[in-house]
Structure 1
Amino acid sequence: MTSQNPASRSTRSAAIVGAGQTGVTAALGLLDAGFEVTLYSDRDQPALRNDVPATGTALEFGVAQQAELALGLDTYTARAPRHTGLSVRIADPERNELIAFDGDFDGYVGVAVDTRLKADERLTAFRERGGRFVVEQVTPETLDGIAAAHDLTLVATGRGGLSDLFAVGTTRTVYDAPQRSLLTVTVTGLDHDPGVFAHRSPAGGGHSGFSIFADQGEGWWGPYLHKDAGPSWAFLGWARPGSDWEKRFGAADSAASAHRIVTELYRDYIDWDLPEVLATRVIEDDPHSWLKGAVRPVVREGVGRTAGGHPVASLGDTSVAYDPIAGQGAQSGLIQAQRLVAAAAVHDGAFDENWIAARYAEFLAARSDAAAKVTRLFLSDPEFADIGGQFFAAAAVEPRFASALVGLLHHPQPFLGVDSVEAAGAYIEKVTGVSAADVLGRFQPAGRFERSAFAPALTRA
C-alpha cells in the first residue's frame, strides 16, 4: 500500500460521494497526496461488502493496472486468477459456426476482481490512515453544502439524482436506450488449469471465452476473484432487445435461477462449452453473487454546478456509463481517478470549473473516447459492421491480428483512427505486415467449432 502524509498537514480538502471501487480509489489517492478527504456513502462498510451485488466483473488490463500502481495500490495480479488471452467464437442467426480465434494478451494480463472486495480493502486502508468516512444519503441539496465546505468535490455515484447535475454530452452519447440486457453470475467448481476449456485454447482456463450470436447476443466466461470464495469464474451475458436470450435473462430472480438460465442457454445455444458450464456451482453463501439489468451508454459532462453555484466533478460511471461488453467501465474509472489525483496533487490554484473541465477533456482524449468506440465495435454497432467483419475475419486467420484485436480492450487508442474500411485494412496491414486483401483472402468459415471433452462434467452428466 502507498504511504500516508499525515492528514493534519493538509491545507486542502476533498469530498468524494460514492464509495465504490472508483470513489474509494480516488479518496485513497487524494489522502496520500496530502488532502483532508471525506468519503460519503449511503451504506456502511459491512453493507457495502455483503448486502449488494458486485457491479459487474470489473475486468482490468495493463493500463488500468498501471494507474493503480501509480497510486501505490494492489493490482490483485498476485492474488486473482490471471487472464492471459481471449478465445472468441462467432455464429450467425442460422447457427452456422463462422469464426473462431484465440488472442493472446501481449505483455500484460487481465484480472477480474470482485468490486466489493477491492472497495472494502481500500476503504479499510482509507479509514486506518485518517480518512473520514460518512454514512449518509447525499442529495443535490446536501451536496451544495458539501461542495461549499471542500476545495474539490467528486461525484462518483449517480444515486439520489446526482447524475442529473451533469448534462448529457449530445455529441458523444450515440444511443438513446440500452443496447443489451445483462445477466451475470459468479460460480465455483472449475479450476483455471489448461484442462479447463482446453478445446478453445492451449491456455485452457487461463483464457476467458467469448461467444457471439448475431441475433441473440454474447456470452462470456472468465476467471474471477470472489470476495469470499476466492478464485472462481464469472459468467456475463448480453442479450439483444427482443431476443430469446432477453426473455430468459428477465426471468432470473436469484443466484440459483441465474445459474440455471445460463446452463440452459449453453445447452441450447453454446454446446461447445457445455461440459465446463455443467461443472459449475452457485456460491451459496453469497445471495448477491448475481445481477441483471441494462445500461444505457451515456457520456456526461465532466463538471456540474450545485444550487449554490459550486463546481463539482463527475467521476467513473457518473462521467461515462459504458455497456460492459468490452470491459471499459472499471478500467476507465480507475484511469480517470489516477489522472485526477495526479493533477490535483501538483495544482496550486482553485479547483474551479475551468480546471475540472480541462482535466475531463484530457481524460476523454487519453482514454474514454477510444474506450467508447471499442465498446461500439464489440456491440456490433451497424456503423462499424464492415470494419468489424474485416477485423474478426482477419483474427481468425492471423494470430498476430487476433492478439492486436483483443489488445484493444487493454489499450483502445489504436482504434480511434479507424473510421473506414480502408483504414481498417491499413491497420490490419500495419499489425501483420501483410496486405489486408492477402489476409482476408485466406479466411474460411470455421464449419464446426471444436466441442469440449471436459471429463469431470461429462462423467457427472
Structure 2
Amino acid sequence: MMRNVAIIGAGQAGLQLALGLQASGYGVTLVSDRTPEQLLSGRIMSTQALFHDACTTERQLGLNFWEDACPPVEGIALSVPHPELPGQKALAFSARLDQPAYSVDQRLKFAGWLREFQTRGGNVVLESADIQTAERLSSAHDLTLIATGKGELGQLFARDPERSPYSAPQRHLALMYLKNVAPRPDHSAVSFNLIPGVGEVFLLPGLTVAEGGGTQPYENVFIEAIPGGPLDVFAEVRDPRQHLEMMQELLRQFLPWEYERTQHAELTDTQATLTGRVTPGVRRPVATLPSGREVLGLGDTLVLNDPLTGQGAGSAAKAAAIYLERILWHGDRSFDRVWMTGTFDEYWSYARFVTDWTNALLGPPPPHVLEVLGAAQTRPGVAHAFVNGFNHPPQFFPWLGDPQAAAQFVAQHGVAEHRAAGFTRA
C-alpha cells in the first residue's frame, strides 16, 4: 500500500526529499508559500554553495539540472590582510578541491524543482503554513515533516541548550549577486577573507537568473560582520545601488585585491541584495501538536548554523538524503517517536561536526589553528587537506580542538608536495 508523506517547507531539504519520495512511489503533499513564478521573481535567499558530497545527493536523484551551465568552484583561497601594511596579506594560501563545488541561485533551483514535482503529479499546497496546517496534514498522512524553521511551526521544536551555546546572532550578514566581476587568476575559488576582529568576506562564482529569462553566471559577495564593527553598516540600507557602493568601499578599504575584481561590477538584478541575522542553534527533533500527533523536523528547522562555513545548503541536502533512506528502509512500519529520534540522530552524527566547526570559527582562532593555517602557506599537503575539509567537515577533527592533533595533522599532510593541491604561495 502506498504510503503518504506531508512536507511543510519547499527549500533545499523539503523539495529534495519530496522529489526523492515521489520517485520511489510515495504519495507526497508539499506545502510551499510561493509559486515557481514568485520564487524566480523574488529576492535572493542564500549563498547556497554545495560541495561534492552534497552535490552527489542531487545527482543520485537526477536533480542536478543546472550543473552543466553553472561555473564550477574549483578551489578555496584564504587570505588575512596585514594589520599594519595596507594592501598586503599577513597570510594567504589556496588549493584545489578534489571535485568542484557549485552554487546555483536558490530562486532558480527551487522554482525548477517545484515545477518538476508538479509535473510528476505531486500535490502542492500553496499557503503560509501554521499549526492548523500541520494538524490537517498530520491527520491525513503517515508522516509529517516540518522543513521550515520560521514562525510558529519552528517554535514547536524545543531548543537543545547543550548543543546551542549562542542566544544571539554572532554576525550581521549582507549578501549581493554581481555580474562583470573579474575572475581570479589560476582557478575559480571561494575567496575566504578573514579580517581579525572585524569579520569575514567571501566571493564565489555561480549561476543565477537572468533578467528577461534564462540564466547567467554571477559572483556572490557575502559579508559576515561582527556586530558593531566597521563591516556592520547594512542594516538600514534599502536601496540596492547604495548596497553595492557601500560594499565596494569596504572592499577598497579592507581587501583591495577583491576591490580590484569588483570595482566595475553591477548587480545581476533588482532583487540581488539581502541582509539578515542568524542565531545559531539546535532544536529537539520531534514536536507534539495540540492534537497529540507528532511531527519530525528536517534541515535547518533543527540545526541552524551561521553561514560562515558555507555548509547550510549542503547540510540540508545531506539531511534530505538520510531521511529518504530511512523512510524507504522503514517500509510499512509506524513512524513513531523512536524512529523519528533515530532518524535525526543519524543526521546529527554528521551535522555535529558542521556545528562544532562553524561555532569554533565564530570566535578568534586559537594558536594551534593559526599554526595550521601558517603551515598551509608553505606545505601544499596541509593546504589541500584543509580546503577539502569543506566537502567533509569531520576531517577538521580532532585537530581543530586539540593542539597535539593539530601538530600531527601538519606533520601528516606536510611531508611532500601533494599533486592534487594546485597550491599557490602568497
Residues 184 and 258 in structure 1, CA contact (< 8 A), matched pair in contact too: no
Count of aligned positions: 410
Q: Who is 2:420 aligned against?
A: none
CA apart distance, 1:427: 1.8
Q: Who is 2:19 aligned against?
A: 28
Q: Which moved more, 1:93-102 or 1:32-41?
A: 93-102
Q: Who is 1:263 aligned against?
A: 248
Q: Who is 1:458 aligned against?
A: none
Q: Distance in 2 between matches of 1:95 and 1:303?
A: 52
Q: Who is 2:409 aligned against?
A: 427
Residues 71 and 205 in structure 2, CA contact (< 8 A), matched pair in contact too: yes
Alignment of 1:128-147 (within 5 A): 128-147=119-138
- Pick one of 47, 53, 66 that aligns with 2:56: 66
Distance change >3 Å, CA 39–CA 268, structure 1 → 2: same
Q: Distance in 2 between matches of 1:323 and 1:37?
A: 31
Q: Who is 2:218 aligned against?
A: 232
CA apart distance, 1:417: 2.3
Q: Who is 2:238 aligned against?
A: 253
TM value normalised by structure 1: 0.85
CA apart distance, 1:92: 5.5
Q: Distance in 1 between matches of 2:67 and 2:385?
A: 22
SS in 2 for 1:372: helix
CA apart distance, 1:75: 6.2
- Pick one of 373, 391, 395 that aligns with 1:392: 373
1:363 is the counterpart of 2:347: yes
CA apart distance, 1:158: 1.8
CA apart distance, 1:94: 4.6
What is the letter of the counterpart of residue 368 of structure 1? A
Alignment of 1:305-324 (within 5 A): 305-324=288-307
CA apart distance, 1:254: 3.1
Distance change >3 Å, CA 70–CA 301, structure 1 → 2: farther
Q: Distance in 2 between matches of 1:311 and 1:299?
A: 18
1:168 is the counterpart of 2:159: yes
CA apart distance, 1:234: 0.8
Q: Distance in 1 between matches of 2:20 and 2:278?
A: 28
Q: Distance in 1 between matches of 2:112 and 2:226?
A: 36
Q: Distance in 2 between matches of 1:405 and 1:376?
A: 17
Q: Distance in 2 between matches of 1:120 and 1:17?
A: 16
Q: Distance in 2 between matches of 1:282 and 1:22?
A: 28
What whole-Å deviation, never above 9, does each CA across 1:157-188 have from its counterpart, x for those lacking one? 12231111111111111212111110000011
Q: Distance in 2 between matches of 1:273 and 1:58?
A: 21
Residues 154 and 312 in structure 1, CA contact (< 8 A), matched pair in contact too: yes
SS in 2 for 1:245: coil
Alignment of 1:265-344 (within 5 A): 265-283=250-268, 286-344=269-327
Q: Distance in 2 between matches of 1:126 and 1:56?
A: 22
CA apart distance, 1:93: 4.9
Residues 38 and 133 in structure 1, CA contact (< 8 A), matched pair in contact too: yes
Q: Who is 2:104 aligned against?
A: 113
Residues 374 and 409 in structure 1, CA contact (< 8 A), matched pair in contact too: no
Q: Who is 1:354 aligned against?
A: 338
Residues 71 and 338 in structure 1, CA contact (< 8 A), matched pair in contact too: no
CA apart distance, 1:39: 0.6
CA apart distance, 1:95: 5.7
- Pick one of 55, 69, 87 that aligns with 1:79: 69
What is the letter of the counterpart of residue 281 of structure 2? V
SS in 1 for 2:197: coil
Residues 183 and 292 in structure 1, CA contact (< 8 A), matched pair in contact too: yes
TM value normalised by structure 2: 0.92
Residues 65 and 75 in structure 1, CA contact (< 8 A), matched pair in contact too: no
Q: Distance in 2 between matches of 1:282 and 1:360?
A: 39
Deviating 4+ runs (over 6 angstroms): none
Q: Who is 1:197 aligned against?
A: 184
Distance change >3 Å, CA 338–CA 75, structure 1 → 2: farther
Distance change >3 Å, CA 176–CA 93, structure 1 → 2: farther
SS in 1 for 2:139: helix
Q: Distance in 1 between matches of 2:367 and 2:292?
A: 47
Q: Distance in 1 between matches of 2:258 and 2:116?
A: 41
Distance change >3 Å, CA 241–CA 146, structure 1 → 2: same
Alignment of 1:35-54 (within 5 A): 35-51=26-42, 53-54=43-44
Q: Who is 1:443 aligned against?
A: none
Q: Distance in 2 between matches of 1:113 and 1:211?
A: 22
CA apart distance, 1:279: 2.1
- Pick one of 95, 98, 104 that aligns with 2:96: 104
**Identity in percent:** 30
Is there any run of 5+ residues in structure 2 with no aligned partner, and where? 417-424
Distance change >3 Å, CA 104–CA 75, structure 1 → 2: farther
Residues 92 and 214 in structure 1, CA contact (< 8 A), matched pair in contact too: no
